[in-house]
Structure 1
Amino acid sequence: MIISPPFLPDRAGSSEEAWLDAAMAQPASRLASTNAPEGSFPLSLKLGWHNGVHIQAPASGGAHLPVRAVADGKVVFVHAPTAPNNDLGHPLNYNPFHADTPTAAWTSDGFVAIEHRTDIGAEGNVATEVVYYSACMHMAGIANCPKTAAPWTVGDAVCRKDALGTPGQIYGHEGQVHFEICCDEANLRRLTRRGPDWVDPLAMPPPTANGRVDSIFGSVYIYLPAAAPTSTTMPTSQLRVANGSGGAASAGSGHFLPNTLHNPQWVQITCEKGAATLTSYDSLGARIGAPRSDSRYDYIGGAGASAAVKAAANQSFEYDLYAVCSDRHGALDAATRAASSPSGWYELLRFGRNLGPDPLPANAAHWRKIVTPAGEVWADLNAPGTFKFSDADFLPVMGWNCFDDDPNADLRCDSLRMKTLIRDPDPKNEQRMERAELARRLGDASVRTKLRRTICKFPSEWDRTTIEARYGWLETEDFKTADDDAAGAQKWDRFVKHARAVTFADLPKAFLDADWRFHPREFVGVMRKCGWLSEREVKQLVPLSALRYGRDPRNGISGYLWEPISSRSVDAQNNPVLKDHRLSLNRMMRKYLINTPMRQASFFGNAIQETAWLSRLSESGGGSYWYTPWHGRGFLQLTHASNYLAYWDWRGRHIPVALKTALETAQRTEEVKSPRLRNVTAMHDVNFNGLTPEIQSWRTAVEAPRQPQSAENTLAPADSAGFYWASLGMARYADGAHVLERVVVNTINGQGTKVYYRSPAFWQASAAVNLPSSIANLYSAALNGFDSRCCAYGYAVAVLTEEYFPDSRGLLGLAFPEGNSPRSVE
């Protein structure tokens, strides 16, 4: 799932949260009755339900930015805007803030609704597909569809970031739109897995099972019961002691065993740009103390580490995770290591539980240093009675809740649960449940924070056929003081005409049935953490054409060739690389934290080129190299016996010491020779006793040659790439600044000049896995095929991020690499 906000301002070095806030900023004006921004969610004027939020469009170069599609999808409804005029009698010239006297306050009625269909995970071999809708109202103009060069119309396929139109006016305020996100109940259940159930925020039941496994993203949340094991000193064992059971708290009597938690609590673990931040909450979601940054040296002595290394370690625990897991596995005795693996420990520290097939001791402890009401302690986050979740679970303790208890079908909020959520917490306030008092609470910052994570069910405000049913309550509550109130009747008549002018009689049923609504800013922010790529999204990463440095067969001249890439690469039915490995690729990226757009762009920039544009999982010509049969396999081409052995160590595979020594010695012997003197049969299997058929099958599985695929064949090609990513520290480089540089080359096969884009960050990430000795030697020609990798990288940056590419003048204005076109995957 790839999603972005409806406006794409320049990041200008902003954090993700700050950029999203700028992209979806609400109008500065406030409603007098609430002191909340106009057009708030889910409640606005007169404590009425409101589908989405009003957004003040960012500006650039003196003009408002265009409205853009937030995700790939299909247009399901379009209404072209009415041309503005100054006729005070026109129903779109309606000012609700001066209803007594008609004044010119134009409201634009351009409208586009889009159906989005994507994946957020998978259960076994079945993708978790979700369907949701985005809608943008009050546009002043509808843009042209890039494929038809005509205004968007129903049925048009939309790509994320396509311009939909220009922002219009809301009650005379320029550059504003209404934006909303909604889905039906079936898709709410798929999105959240918790369905429409409301949970009392003041009496949350403790969890009794782990969260979902099909979709895991964002932060990890771990519930710790009272009596969970703790330690005030650094633990010396990575295993639970035989009687060290958690979850058997005697909270009722107030008696606890020594070194246990006295109260249940939650721990949130967030990994970002190298740091692992742990934040503690009580059982109702109130923060405990301040967040703390994890350090590798919270868990090992580090006698050989310098003070500078230790000081920096609390900002690099995520980058150190590979080493941390090796530390924990290596600290076990030999007998226990036989049922363990660094990979299993990685899953435990990454997810709070082992989701994969690699071994982990049944009594493995997950010691982390956390904050409790009594101070910092080490706690076992894997003790019995602990339960693990992620942002994909939309946890009530983190503020998520569903509201569908409004007994009426109008847009007046009569939800007791919603009113209870926003009311004044002071029980002495006898008016705290009155509508006017509740409305005033909408401007309170703490209330607005709570409302961002409400998921609410109520009818669409754009349905013309239900205007009277939705707004009838306003006639007597807001417009008419009595049946014979002629002035009030006139105001009501103007309002009804305006409501008809901004609604539509022919909205699609599926859109109207999508009556569960999210706060758009919160939905976009949370789902941008998902990182799971649908088939359509993966296909778009493969370039239409690419550069290759080679020899032109027509004349024997060496230079740059511009060559088309076969459409078979994106044929999901006949290309086994795409058909059989997309889900495992996603699971691998989820495990190894390849979970930001630029990390994924750095990965796919290499993996797509390494696999010959997703066409094969073994090195071309592998049978002819001196290191055969240990040639490149998998998505990042695991190469050389030493790397295969390291990968199997990672997964807990047991290789005889004599065989390992023989293979490594033979490899070193040949590596130091000049290429023409190398023995091309030195690494062949017949030379090594103990190289069993099972070990050979492990090696072959990395290229997944057989159909139908076994579980290992499906896992190893992607997982070996994740191992490379983690062990070589590619994330550290991928997290650097991606300053895109435009490079122009001349081709020798009649294709003229071509442009590709590179960056130091992508170079370093590529060199880390392909040429570690040259990481500091920027753009060294020794790195094979870097220009080809940059072609895939450029497509990945365009598809996965919101970055712009420099043009020939150096201006950042291109949404796609110069001279390239998006791949159509309809």
Structure 2
Amino acid sequence: MIVSPPFLPAKGLTSKDPAKTDPMMDLVDQYELGHHGVYPIAIDRRWHCGVHLAPSFQNEAVRAIADGEVVAYRVSQRPISDGKKNGDGSDILNSNTGFVLLRHTTETGEGRTITFYSLYMHLRDLDGIRNSVGPLPNNPPETGSSTVLANWLSNSTEGVQVPKNLRVYRKDMLGYAGAHHAYPHLHFEIFMTEGDFTAWFEQSGHAVQLGNKNPTTPASKDYWGHSCLVIPGGQTFVSTPPVATGAAAAYFPTLQSGTLDTGSKLYVEAYFHKGQRYTRSWVEKDGTLTPLTSAAVRDAYADYEYKMYERATTLYPRCPSDGYELLRFGRILSAPPTLPATAQQTWVAVTFETGKQGYIDISQPPIQKLSDADFPLFMGWQKIEEGNTPFSEDGICDYDELRKIVAVVEDDETTAERMRPAHEQEARLASYIANHAEVRERFRGFVCHAPSEWDASGNEARYKRLKEADGFFGKRKEFDPNGYDDFVKFLERFQFLEKTSLGGGKKFWFFHPLAFIRHFRRCGWLSENEMTQLVPRKVIRKPGSHISMKSAYFESANVSTAFIKKNRSALNVALQKYGITTPTRMACFFGNSTQETLWFGDLREQRGANPTLHHGWYGRGFLQLTSANGEMANGNNNYYKYFRYLGRSPVIPPGAQEIAWRDEVGISPFHASQSAGAYWVWPNKSVPSKDHPDRLQVDSANKYADADEIFHGNRRETILTNVGIKTWYYNQFFTNCAASVNFPAMTGQSPPNMNGLVDRSVSFANAAMVLWDVCTFPRLDGSIQQCPEDYVRRLV
């Protein structure tokens, strides 16, 4: 699942805080207005299940948050008036009716298809775009892009349009934020239908634990994002684990010991970021949840994730692969496990009291192991539905906690303030929520079962309570007699849902949209369409080493859908296991793996056409594991290292068993993927030697992918091909990843003498376009553009 926010400011690519995992969302969170349009309730106690976003740069484009199809849209030529007048009596045109509604269907795991909707309301009118941004193209393209509006968004429509088979891609421009009641902003929603919500959240065998006060370790193998631990009271923490002897001692810096109060329960969030391990802790006692850490705490062992392969090999010698999963997930997801239960102790550091960290073995059955895939309650997720919310179909929210907040604001109003229009009184409610962090954060986790404010069917039934004596407009009857009628008439100018395939008179499940996006950005599972797009439409192929005189070829790269269907799930599982789930790590990995597999065509070097190549020990798998020249090196070769990592005991010389193990790397999706992930992170791919003391130590390729400089590291280059001069982009930080895969001893060289550097770089640039939020590619004159020259997106 690849998803991004509706605004993509370039400043959101990096953060100076090493513990911040998503600087883009941190920046876009600041666009949420604190003076009107809060989630999930309005001042008149109607549901307001969206947020109002105002970018810092007025002409920052609104973008599709994910690949999807258009359900409905409306493009307006000019704004409408909310009834306010100019000094000459003419209407003030202060509200935009333009919108786009998208349906997104993607995947979050094997057999886990999710469908959700994103709504972009109050898009700027065409006159406004021309006046503030500039003229639109005379011949806009039928399919838009990150730099230009599509034809269907460039012409005003007569009312609501409900197209068929109209597709958009993530980052495509949808327009610009307009205004409502003269307040500049984008009203933004994410919701699911009742059927889609049930299909994902309550799917048999995969049901998540949303709202479960007593979560248990799920039987499902779904795991993504952060780990979440539930540790019951009475558990003991030690300063040094009993396994910390000999070589293992180095992995466990001395901490503190203690025992968790028997009447308490400890909740721990753990995650890895740029090689480090971080945790946050809360303790629950007497129903009250209290944070023990004001910010994420970095593990005392530096470069924990970068050195996890070594740690697993040292602590779990019988099967380091299983050990790696214990260290990553807290449990073994591969089935069946090789390690016996007695060898699965997993000692990790957590904060168990304020200012105190100790080690605990989380393999103990009483300790529950979850992840973000489970939507755990203690991470703030809570369902607000009819079962615990006595609100009726009239759309008025009677949920006690929300109603009390509205009452607090109302009680503080003066008589004069209470006479102001609803959208102006909304500012007081928004300000209250904005200034109470604990309220704001809790609301972000509310998943609300509510009607849509954009459904005109049943308006009278839904809003009639507003005009009753104690209703919002009823209390204003004396000085605003037409208030209710004006409210409904104006609202109907924006409503549209009953005209779409979704129909009217329904309730939906709404999420705080920015919280939804932030959460699912941690997923990293790629759907078939998303993985297909990672293969470039056009490639530059230069056979042999980078410095060879061989000719380059500019050609089309065909995609084997059968190859992707067969291998995708196993590859996704490996990406999760080895932490190759951030946009930069994935772009670097796929920049190599697509090239090494002949653009997802075959898992064997030269498609296995030369069986004697390297005496049969030629490249196999997604990163072409190889024993060059068939050199067994007394078992010190890449194939044998992978065998031992799985807990196998290969012998020299290789026999039938070793040959079978070797061959399955080029046949089995599991081994093709696992061998690639293991090779990507394992140490000593290059080491200094007596003859080469300056040779770079090359371990986990994730180190190079994690460099912030990679985002702005593209350098324009040209190459002569069979069809003339073509442009490609050299990125030293990606090149370090590529060299660490293909020719580790050349890592750090600029440029390195390695195979396929141009091919890999072209594939990396394409992967960055698919995976990154913002891309920068220099033009010949040094200016920056968002796409590579001659870039053609692969349509799916």
TM-score w.r.t. the length of structure 1 is 0.78
- State the match for 1:108 in structure 2: 96
Residue 529 of structure 1: which of 522, 529, 538 is its match? 522
- Alignment CA distance shift 1:221-1:196 (3 Å): closer
**1:128/1:729 Cα in 2 relative to 1: closer, same or farther (>3 Å)?**
same
SS for the counterpart of 2:488 is helix
Query: Which residue does 1:161 correspond to in 2?
Result: 171
Single out whichever of 640-649 and 607-616 deviates more from structure 2.
Answer: 640-649
Match of 1:446 among 429, 438, 441: 438
Residue 312 of structure 2, aligned match among 307, 320, 325: 325
SS in 2 for 1:522: helix
Aligned equivalent of 1:488: 480
Distance 1:755 1:514 in 2: 52
Q: Is the aligned partner of 1:218 residue 2:196?
A: no
Shift of 1:225: 1.9
2:648 is aligned, of 639, 653, 657, to: 653
Q: 1: CA distance between counterparts of 2:681 and 2:405? A: 44
The answer to whether structure 1 residue 581 and structure 2 residue 567 are counterparts is yes
Closer/same/farther in 2, CA of residues 438 and 807 from structure 1, 3 Å limit? closer
Matching residue within 590, 594, 598 for 1:608 = 594
- 1:511, 1:14 → 2: CA distance? 42
Instruction: Sort the Cα spacing of 1:615 and 1:379 in 2 relative to 1 into closer, same or farther, 3 A.
Output: same
2:341 aligned counterpart, secondary structure: coil
**Structure 2 residue runs without a partner (length 5+):** 16-20, 127-135, 145-149, 154-160, 246-256, 409-424, 683-698
Aligned-residue offset at 1:74: 0.3
**Residue of 331, 338, 349 corresponding to 2:327:** 349
Q: Show the 5 A alignment for 1:31-430.
A: 36-59=34-57, 64-84=59-79, 90=81, 92-93=82-83, 104=92, 106-122=94-110, 127-141=111-125, 146-147=142-143, 150-152=151-153, 154-155=163-164, 156-174=166-184, 176-193=185-202, 199=211, 205-207=213-215, 209-211=216-218, 213-236=220-243, 262=262, 263-283=264-284, 285-289=289-293, 291-296=296-301, 313=302, 316-330=303-317, 340-357=318-335, 358-363=337-342, 364-373=344-353, 375-404=356-385, 405-416=389-400, 418-419=402-403
Letter in 2 for 1:698: W
Counterpart contact for 2:213–2:377, Cα < 8 Å: no
For residue 533 of structure 1, give the secondary structure of its aligned residue in structure 2.
coil
Could you tell me how far apart the structure 1 residues matched to 2:84 and 2:217 are?
Answer: 52
Counterparts of 2:431 and 2:394 in 1: how far apart (Å)? 21
C-alpha distance in 2, partners of 1:261/1:726? Answer: 39
Give 1:719's aligned amino acid.
Q
CA distance in 2 between partners of 1:166 and 1:205 (Å): 42
Q: Is the 8 A contact 1:218 1:390 kept in 2?
A: yes
Pick from 749, 759, 769: which aligns with 2:741? 769
| Alignment match, 2:555 | 563
Distance 1:717 1:797 in 2: 23
| C-alpha contact (below 8 Å) 1:730/1:765 kept by paired residues | yes
CA–CA distance in structure 1, aligned partners of residues 503 and 330 of structure 2: 38
* CA displacement at 1:757 relative to structure 2: 1.8
8 Å Cα contact 1:588/1:719 also seen in 2: yes
Secondary structure of 2:448 counterpart: strand
Q: Is the 8 A contact 1:212 1:393 kept in 2?
A: no
Give 1:754's match in structure 2, choosing from 717, 726, 745: 726
Alignment correspondent of 1:478: 472
Conserved 8 A contact 2:6-2:62: yes
Name the aligned partner's letter for residue 361 of structure 1.
P
- Rounded to whole Å, the distance in 2 between the matches of 1:525 and 1:52 is 15
* Corresponding letter in the other structure for 1:367: W
2: distance between equivalents of 1:368 and 1:349?
A: 8
Q: Aligned partners of 1:76, 1:621: CA distance in 2, in Å?
A: 43
In the TM superposition, what is the alpha-carbon distance from 1:259 to its structure 2 partner? Answer: 6.2
Q: Structure 2: how far apart are the matches of 1:560 and 1:514?
A: 58
**Contact residue 273 and residue 732 of structure 1 kept, 8 A:** yes
Contact 1:228–1:380, Cα closer than 8 Å, also in 2: no
The structure-2 alpha-carbon separation of the partners of 1:694 and 1:621, relative to structure 1 and needing over 3 Å to count, comes to: same
Which of 662, 673, 698 aligns to 1:718? It is 673
Q: Is the 8 A contact 2:238 2:358 kept in 1?
A: yes
**Post-superposition offset of 1:615:** 0.4
Query: Which whole-Å deviations, capped at 9, do the CAs of 1:165-221 have from their partners, x for residues lacking one?
Result: 1221121123x110100002333245445979984xxxx7433x3136353211101
Offset from partner CA, 1:716-739 (integer Å, 9 cap, x none): 000000011110401011101213
SS in 2 for 1:349: helix
Indicate the RMSD between aligned Cα atoms, in angstroms: 3.1
Paired position in structure 1 for 2:539: 546
Is residue 795 of structure 2 the alignment partner of residue 786 of structure 1?
no
Match of 2:460 in 1: 468
Distance across 2 between alignment mates of 1:438 and 1:808: 48
1:621-646: CA deviation from partner (whole Å, max 9, x where unpaired): 76366622111000000111511100
More displaced, 695-704 or 508-517?
A: 508-517
Distance 1:550 1:396, change over 3 A: closer
- CA deviations 1:281-333 (Å, max 9, x no partner) are 2135432245432244xxxxxxxxxxxxxxxx2xx111111111112024xxx
Corresponding letter in the other structure for 1:346:
Y
Task: State how far apart, in whole Å, the 2-side matches of 1:157 and 1:701 are.
Answer: 39
Q: What is the total number of aligned residue pairs between the two structures? A: 688
**1:650 is aligned with what amino acid?**
Y
Write the distance in 2 (CA, Å) between the matches of 1:198 and 1:319: 32
| Structure 1 residues 259 and 51: CA distance shift in structure 2, 3 A | closer
AA partner of residue 275 (structure 1)? Q
